Chains A and B, each alone.
Chain A
Amino acid sequence: MKRHLLEAADLDRADATLVLDTAAQIDAALAGREVKKLPTLRGRTVVNLFYEDSTRTRISFELAAKRLSADVINFSAKGSSVSKGESLKDTALTLEAMGSDAIVVRHSASGAPHRLAHWVRGSVVNAGDGTHEHPTQALLDAYTVRRRLGRLEGVRVAIVGDVLHSRVARSNVRLLHTLGAEVTLVAPPTLLPVGVGSWPAEVSYGLDPVLPKSDVVMMLRVQAERMHASFFPSAREYSRRYGLDAPRMAALPDDAIVMHPGPMNRGMEIAADVADSARSTIVEQVGNGVSVRMAVLYLLLGGGVQ
């Protein structure tokens, strides 16, 4: 393992498998226990440095660090010295001077965690940067697929929706490819990035032909906050063409699962009855997120790499 986790490409197949295996062991070790706490990272400090709003990722990281007995400091840009104009570098050096061992960072600017990694001595974990990457989300998604389907090699995954703005899609394409899955991106041409042809994934403009040959359908959120141009004519039309509703779900193979990184727009990219169906892993993904992030923190912070 490298010292930082900045993007899915930081993990080769062995590393990624180690994270998933470690998460599975942690899950098994804590299952059914009254004391869901391990003493592993006692005395270490993890800072959650969040420049963008987040509920599940921040709480998930916080819980993961606390279950490993690390001390956690939550820092959000609102109401801090950032609003007085402090730079990312100065904020990071300040936090490090106070003794942080790891910084979990979310930032609206793509590449911010990379810059940060050059300035600090501790580990940096990317918890989502702009439209670039969100590697721990990809890890928890891979973990969820492996738990549900029992394998990743050869699993056919369709990633549907706003690929252009989605850091989840970027990280997932990279990681799932590393782990041997076959990815198909499904989106209107306006929501696909330039150069998508060089990604290790197939591309389809239509959802219906892809569904019968998918083991996993991963719906992406339509990110209203990033929709500053007319990427599609209307929400209704998008929902008609790319939304996952019950009739579309029926076209999936019998054991296929439906995923969503959350937060979801019910009725937009995913119908409510699909989101609440037995095939949906959306709630499971949240729970798995804590185990996977525990594994990441353990592997990055648990002493020098051998």
Chain B
Amino acid sequence: MNKGRIKVALALALVAVLAFVAVGARKTAMKLAQDAAQKVYVPPGEYDEFYAFLSGGFNGQIGVYGLPSGRLLKIIGVFSQNPRNGYGYNPETRPMLMTSHGFIPWDDTHHPELSQTNGVPDGRWLFVNANNTPRIARIGLKYMETEEIIEIPNSAGNHPSSFITENSEYLTAGTRFSVPIPQKDIPIDQYKGNFKGTLSFISIDPKTGKMDVAFQILVPGFDYDLAHCGKGPSHDWCFFTSYNTEEAHTLLEINASQHDKDFIAAVNWKRAEECVKEGKYETWHTPYAHNWFDEKKHMAFSEIKKEEKVIKPDQCPGVVYFIPTPKSPHGVDVSPDGKYILGDGKLSATMAVFSFDKMIKAIKEKKFAGDAYGIPILDFESVLDHYVKNVCLGPLHTESDGKGYAYTSCFISSEVVKWKWSTGEIVDRIPVYYSIGHLMIPGGDSAKPWGKYLLAMNKITKDRYLPTGPELNQSAQLIDITGDKMKLLLDFPTVGEPHYAQALPASMIKDKQARIYNLKENEHPYATKSEKNVKVVRKGHEVHVYMTAIRSHFVPDNIEGVKVGDTVYFHVTNLEQDWDIPHGFAVFGAPTSNNLIMPGETKTLVWKPEKPGVYPFYCTDFCSALHQEMQGYVRVSPADANPPMIWRGGGREGKWIVEQ
């Protein structure tokens, strides 16, 4: 055999081997994709394993998703008007969006938190904070609607919120944008020493869920960023990260990134309770709104409260300590057993894991490294347990799987890093697409995580989906964390900008979901519970239409007698008692949203007609085969006219009732 032949034979053999390898690799890739697809596939008609509640950031809402499918199940209007169903537009729900600054139809939702019992989500309520005009909302998990909103006085930029204590005693709130507290008109360059923050504790009534501002701790003017409360041994404590300990007031990007360490504020809320009991607080009178929805009356109420208990740390020693923490930390996370506290220092590649026991010991032994505005700064080395070295670039937030591992999101290096709580040993990494902010494991910030999936919530989407102009939805990735190696399962877009999420097994709340509002229990003052009781009442320039909706007609559906200058209130009650038969209501020319009215519910549309004419109204929800016929007319006459005041509908005719 000559050399040429050998070369050809070798080349052929190489090609064969390469082809074999390539086919094998392709097969392996397809097999992996099939495995992933099987793990997230929820067959038609079947249900997801988890409910996930993702904040919507700048949309002011909460998105309810099913996991593992990533299907969007519902959008809940919280701090923003929701034209879909009239939330924040109709008089029933407008009071929910009242603040001490008046009616505000928008905010920025950040950190949802489920109520907990013994450190585990219990499926009663979901809370979420508003960052812009400081507020916390409570969402009931039976109706999945916003039931209460409380404003946080003496604060600005409510970012380290709404994190919960182990038995839902308190929710945290805090000041990200320090301001003069109480507010006053001073030059901004007098920031240092004059601007302050508060760390607030919002109590939750264990029966009704009603929230109240229990006490506020006045703290130096840093930027308080995130929080988490202790568990087990650390039950009495909550931890808040801070950045801008430089107290910069301009170009914070540079000026607030000078210190190598910022602080975690460790707050002993039991100690704060003692100080309140002993009268070691000041009573301040900054007004704040408290709004709640009465589900029997189908109506929200708003009150302005004007009293808060403010604790000054020098008057209540032991209430707060500062733990120095590597550079500009974002998240502060507590291990499921409550023994470790982690500051995710976003400008440091090394994270410090603190020991709760060492912290208590350092406090006892007064191992302080000075103080900040009178608040003791603990000696870093005395509190440090171990480092997580070279974890990644831009660590932001960490959750746990309940099997001893922690998962940290890394914004700059765009990855999730898995490491061991007890040693800081890094065991796995997985890339995410792109620039992850928060991550979420169902129950991952609780004492007992359901460590099956991890959801990465990313800030940059770019090329992940079909492009939709310059504005793109955010992206999320679902990762399987049951094995030694993390596995990417699914990629799906999310509405708004989720800043954090919570999830719990669907079985905990699925069967207690309300299907209708019971018509018999409807105590709305303008409810009409039977077509027999419909009426139109004039009170001066107010016209109240007591209207019913049932497939497929309104009663009344002809209204004559309205004049320019009147304010017309259409109080529409949906008489249906069958699951998923809502009716909608909208009036031509009315400068407001439609109302989507659930079975047994009453909602009001308010309209001030400005021009004479005949205006149609109709059902906006395709309710039945005769939905298109579900329409009516209201006649508007000139202000000085004297039209007959009559109505028709349901085969009947009636005269208005005129009250003086």
A, B assembled together? no
| Residues of A participating in the B interface, judged by any CB pair closer than 8 Å | none
